[in-house]
Chains A and B, each alone.
Chain A
Amino acid sequence: MIRERLSGNEAVAVAMRQINPDVVPAYPITPSTEVPQYFSSFMANGSVDTEFIPVESEHSAMSACIGASAAGARVMSATSSQGLSLMYEMLYIASGMRLPIVLTCVNRAVSAPINIHNDHSDSMGVRDCGFIQLYCESNQEAYDNLIMAVKIAEKAMLPVMVCFDGFITSHSVENIELLEDDIVKQFVGKYEPEHYLLNPNEFISMGPLDLQNYFFEHRKQLADAMKDSKRIIEEVSEEYAKISKRKYNLIENYRMDDSKIAMVVLNSTAGTAKEVVDKLRDEGIKVGLVKPRTFRPVPVKELVESLKDMKAIAIMDKADSINGFCGPLYSEITSALYSEGLNIPTVNYIYGLGGRDVKTSDIEDVFRSLLKIAKDGKKSQTTYYLGVRE
C-alpha cells in the first residue's frame, strides 16, 4: 500500500498507468484534460506500453475506442460535458457491440450557456446509452472504481463510465491509498476476449445491419447483460476488497440504521451531506444518507431496502431533466419505490447546476424541511431548485 496526495485526475491517471491499457484515444476538454495529459507523461517516460491516439474529436475518440476494442485491445478514454455529448452516438454503439471500454467522465455542465464547472448533466444525459455508470465521492473512490471498472467491463461485456465531479474531485488534492503496481496488474489480469478482429484463428464481421427478425433479441441481451452486471459488480468489488481492504457496495448507506429521514445523493456532495448528517445526529436528530454508487444498473433492490421505512426522503439531482417535473435520479428512485408499493413523501432538489456551491447550510435546510414533511406525513411541493435566485 502506498500513501499519496493526489488530485482526482492524477489518481485516475495513476490507475491507468497501473492498468497499462493497450490503446487510449482521447481529446482534451476541461476538466478531464489532465487525465490524458498525466497519462501522456507516463507514456513519454516509458512507463506504459499504451498507444495513444490524439484524435481530432470526441466522436472519433469513441469511434477509435470501438475499433481498437473490437480489434482485441484493452481500451480507455476520458472526457467531460460537450465531449461526452459529441460521443453520444458512439456510446450506444459501444454498448450495442458489447465492447468493454472504460471511460472516465469528469462531470461538467452541458451548454448552453457554456460553463466548465460541475454538475451531472453530461453523464445523466447519456444514462440510457448502455454504459454501466459508477459514481465516485472522492479521489480514492475514483481510483478504486477505475481499477474495478476494467474487470467489471470485461466480465459483463459492457462499457463502463466512471463519473466524478469536475474540479471538486478532479482538481482537489486529497490523501489517497494506492495499490502496488503489480497488485493492480494481477487484479486486472490479461484481457482475453472470446472474439476479436485481430484473432488469427477466425474471421468475424462486427456491426451488421440487424433487421426486425433479430434486433429485438439483441437489445434484450443487452438489457439482460446490464441486469446481470449487478452480480458482476458485486463480485468484482468483493475481490477488490481483498486486495485493498476497501469494500464497495452498489449503494452506500450512511448512518441509515435507525433513521426515518434520508437524503439520496451522488458523488462529492455526499461528502458535504455526511457532515450535516453527523451534525444533526449530534443534536439527536436521526437522519441518514444513501449514496448510489451505480446508477446504471439501477440498484433497485438495495435502494428499496434502505428507504422502505423512511417517513420522508429528499432526492438530490445535480442535473435537470427539463421535463416540467423532476430530475433523473428522482424519477428513477421514486419509480423503484412505487413499484414496490411504497408511497413515501419524497421531494426532489435540483441543486448545484453549473458548479453553484452547495454549502452544509443548504443541505441542513433540506434535512430540516424533511423533518417537517415526516411530522406532517405530507409534502406541499415535489421539486425545488436549491438556492437558486428567483
Chain B
Amino acid sequence: MAYNLKEVVKRKTRFSAGHRMCAGCGAPPTVRGILSALKEEDNAIITSATGCLEVSSCIYPYTSWKNCSFIHSAFENAGATCSGVETAYRSLKKQGKLNGTKDVKFIAFGGDGGTYDIGLQSLSGAMERGHDMVYVCYDNGAYMNTGTQRSSATPHFADTTTAPAGKVLPGKIQPRKDLTEIMVKHNTAYVAQTALFGNFKDIHEKAEKAIYTEGPCFVSVLSPCPRGWGYPTDMLIEISKLAVDTCFWPLYEVKDGIYTINYKPAKKLPVEEFLKPQKRFKHMFKEGNEWMIKQFQEEVDKKWEYLLTMEKLTHNEN
C-alpha cells in the first residue's frame, strides 16, 4: 500500500504524549515514526537502553508506552535483553504456552552511546545470533542524558563536554564510527539509515521493512538534540533536512547485500549549511579553522561516493 501520512497518523499510538523529553528532541518522533509502521493488529514488546528516551518515557508510576509492553533493564544491553524476550516468545509459542497471542514484534531502542559504544557487543551478539528483532538506534551524536559527552557517533570536530573545543583541541579529534556499515557486515537481514525527513515516508517505509523482514534488522535514525547540538527547538525538521541534503546523513538501505540510496539531493548542499545553525560546530567558523570545514566536507564526500559506488556495484551484479 502506498504511503499515506494521513492514514498513518490515524493508527493507534504506541507512544503517548506526556513524556518528559525536551521540546525539539528527535527521539519521540523517531519512536512514533518507527512504531506507527506496526500493523494495527500486531502486538509489540519494546526494549530500551538507559538514556534520555528511557528516563523520560517511563517514570514510575507512569509510562508513555501504550498499546505495547515495554522493558528497560540497563544501558549496554538492549540487544541482549530484547533477544531474551524474543527467545521467550519462540520457546513459549513452540510449546503451545501462548494461547490467544497475536503476532508479536520485538523492537529495541538505544541512543548512540548505548549502541555504538557500551552496547556494541550486546548488539553485535544479538544480530549475529539472528534473533527476529529490530534494533533502532536513535542517534543524537553524544551521551545526552549525562550532559553531552562525546561518543564514537559524535561527528568530527563537534564540541562536547568531554571533547570540548579549546585553544589547542578542535573538539572531537576523531571522525564518526560507521556503525551502519558494521551492521551490514553482520549478515543482518535488513539495515537502513533514515531521518525525520519530509513527510516521514522514509522512516515509515524502512520501519515497516525492518519490522516485517524476518531476522535481525538494524535501523539508524538521526535524532537531533536541541540542547546538545545547540539549535532552536523549532528547527528539528529543518536540521534533519539539512543533514540529508548535505549528505552528512545519507538515507540508504542494504538488503541481501544490495545498497540502495533512497534519496539523492537534486542539489547537494555544502556541509556548512548543516554545521552553521549548530552551536557545537561554532568554532569551525572561526578564522583559521577553515581546514576543519574542509576536512569535514571531504569526509562527507568520501562516504557519499562510497555509497554511490556500492549502489552501482551491488545493483549491477544482479
Which residues of A are at the interface with B, using a C-beta cutoff of 8 A? 22-23, 25, 49-51, 53-57, 59-61, 63-73, 75, 89-90, 93, 97, 197-200, 203-211, 214
Contacts and interface: CB of A to CB of B under 8 A. Distances in A.
B115 to A, nearest CB: 15
Contacts of A67: 47, 71, 73, 80-88
A112 B107 CA distance: 39
A71 B102 CA distance: 15
Contacts of A71: 45, 84-85, 88-89, 92
Interface string B38-79: 000001010100000011001111010111111111101101
A90 B59 contact: no
Interface of B: 43, 45, 47, 54-55, 58-61, 63, 65-74, 76-77, 79-92, 94-95, 97-98, 100-102, 104, 121-122, 124-125, 128-129
B55 to A, nearest CB: 5
B91 A22 contact: yes
Contact of B71 (A57, A59, A61, A207): A207
Given A71-B92, A208-B72, 9 more contacts: A49-B95, A51-B88, A53-B129, A60-B122, A66-B81, A72-B88, A207-B71, A208-B60, A209-B54
Contact of B80 (A63, A198, A204, A207): A63
Contact of B61 (A22, A56, A198, A214): A214
23 contacts: A53-B84, A56-B125, A56-B128, A59-B122, A60-B121, A60-B122, A63-B80, A67-B81, A70-B71, A75-B88, A90-B73, A93-B74, A197-B69, A203-B67, A203-B69, A204-B70, A206-B69, A206-B71, A207-B71, A209-B55, A209-B60, A211-B60, A214-B60
A99 to B, nearest CB: 10
B88 A66 contact: no
Contacts of A97: 73
Contacts of B58: 205, 207-209
Contacts of B71: 67, 70, 197, 205-207
Contacts of B88: 22-23, 51, 67-69, 71-73, 75, 197-198
A50 to B, nearest CB: 7
B74 A89 contact: yes
Contacts of B125: 55-57, 60
A203 B101 CA distance: 12
Given A22-B88, A56-B122, A93-B74, A205 B83 contact: no
Contacts of B95: 22, 49
A53 B124 CA distance: 14
Most A CB contacts (10 A, CB to CB) among B45, B84, B86, B129 go to B84
A51 B121 contact: no
Contacts of B85: 67-68, 70-71, 197-198
Nearest to B128: A56
Most A CB contacts (10 A, CB to CB) among B59, B83, B104 go to B83
Given A66-B84, A71-B84, A71-B89, A93 B45 contact: no
Contacts of B129: 53-55
Contacts of B82: 67
A210 B91 contact: no
Nearest to A60: B80
A205 B63 contact: yes
A245 B63 CA distance: 49
B97 to A, nearest CB: 8
Contacts of A63: 73-74, 77, 80-81, 84, 122
Nearest to A191: B97
Nearest to B125: A56
Contacts of B90: 51
A68 B88 CA distance: 5
A208 B80 CA distance: 18
A109 B30 CA distance: 46
Contacts of B60: 208-211, 214
A57 B125 CA distance: 9
A207 B72 contact: yes
A199 B102 CA distance: 10
B146 to A, nearest CB: 14
B59 A208 contact: yes
A203 B67 CA distance: 6
For the complex of A and B, the 8 pairs showing the least CB-CB separation, nearest first, are A67-B84, A56-B125, A64-B84, A60-B80, A71-B88, A63-B80, A73-B88, A207-B72
A230 B108 CA distance: 37
A57 B63 contact: no
B91 to A, nearest CB: 4
A55 B81 CA distance: 11
A206 B72 contact: yes
Contact of A56 (B59, B76, B124): B124
B180 to A, nearest CB: 20
Contacts of B79: 60
A70 B94 CA distance: 18
Contacts of A89: 74
A22 B84 CA distance: 11
Most B CB contacts (10 A, CB to CB) among A54, A69, A203 go to A203
